[in-house]
Amino acid sequence: MTDTPERVLVQVRDLKKHFPIRRGVLRRQVGAVQAVDGLTFDIHEGETLGLVGESGSGKSTTGRALLRLVRPTAGSVAFDGDELSSLGAEALRARRREMQMIFQDPYASLNPRMTIGAIVREPLDIHEIGDAAGRDRRVDELLERVGLSRAARDRYPHEFSGGQRQRIGIARALSTEPRFIVADEAISALDVSIQAQIVNLLQDLADELGLTYLFIAHDLTMVRHISDRVAVMYLGRIVELGTRDDVFERPLHPYTRALLDAVPIPDPTAEARRPPALGGEVPSPADPPSGCRFHPRCPLATDLCRTKDPHTREAGGTARPHRVACHHATQPE
């Protein structure tokens, strides 16, 4: 991790991604799923920004929109000063070398018909990086860097464990020497015993190669371990954003506190007696609540919360601004 980096690498402004709902023979649009609805944040060069929230909050769609794997409905994403939506096909293709993704499912994200060497080499072939011999050497170097032997290159994905497959996915993401990587739930499909190994590998690679990460996860323990700053997402919106220490030790938003209260504790008896940290279900992003989207589940909700959408405001911060979108945000006692 890095000490308060200053240079902005990824700049996101009012990002939206709405998926149309179509019905009838003519497939007329009758609504929209507001998966991402107005995100504004920066990711600084060399830092890891953790993005957390419940399933259905829009985390994965955010990561894909940043890399232009899905086209945003509105808003802007700039990478190193270049607005991605204004780039032509060739310019965007060149930028894609610098932006890669590590996918959630190491079983589904690798082509079972390709050898490991071909999988890792494929981005080098697509972007025409180096000659044939140079690409082969690069594959060997990458496999060794992620903790696999060169002999793995002639084998197939089904011959490897989940943790090993994720290492292969990481090697593939590193092949074009990217500067920015979106790790989309990269550890959630792995055994608990393997998760820490992958997170430590990602950290080591960031230190060695100067990588910048958007680390999407729901495991708050791992997010706290790897992240410099943390963004908390709920129903398409960022409700809190601050340094790791500020968010974990001085949470301001009631949703953030509920997520932290839900982290399991090692005492089984105390865990069994503990009341649910957060009741209810996440509302549908196709029909979000009026006012503050969290108000149907919030213990602090008032009439103001039910009618008025809270603006994001700064609330101090130890190293960087600590931002929160809540009418009644307070420091915990």
CATH number at residue 233: 3.40.50.300
Confidence of residue 88 (pLDDT cuts 50, 70, 90): confident
pLDDT for residue 266 is more than 90: no
Give the C-alpha separation, 296 to 111, whole Å. Answer: 43
| Cα–Cα nearest to 209, from 48, 11, 95 | 48
Residue 104: how many CB atoms within 10 A of its CB?
21
214 assigned to some structural domain: no
From residue 93, how far is each of 15, 65, 70, 111, 127 by CA, in Å? 21, 15, 14, 22, 8
Assess if residue 292 is contained within a domain: yes
Nearest-angstrom CA–CA distance, 14 and 65: 12
Residue 218 maps to a domain: no
pLDDT band at 264 (very low <50, low <70, confident <90, very high): confident
Question: Which pLDDT score, from 0 to 100, does residue 272 have?
Answer: 58
**Structural domain includes residue 36:** yes
Residue 237 domain-assigned (yes or no) = yes
Residue 271 has pLDDT above 60, yes or no: no
Domain count for the chain, please give it: 1
> Containing domain of residue 30, as a range?
8-45+56-93+228-324
Reported as a single tens digit per residue, the pLDDT across 192-224 is 889 999 999 999 999 999 999 999 998 898 999
Of the pLDDT bands very low, low, confident and very high (cuts 50, 70, 90), residue 12 is very high
Is 281's pLDDT higher than 90?
no
In the prediction, which pLDDT does 24 show? 87
- Domain-located, residue 215: no
In a domain, 29, yes or no: yes
> What's the pTM?
0.91
Share above pLDDT 90 across residues of the chain, in percent, rounded to a whole number: 75
H or E segment at 276? none
The pLDDT tens digits for 142-201 are 999 999 999 999 999 999 999 999 999 999 999 999 999 999 999 888 888 899 999 999
> Is 74 within a domain?
yes
The answer to whether 11 and 214 are in contact (CB under 8 A) is: no
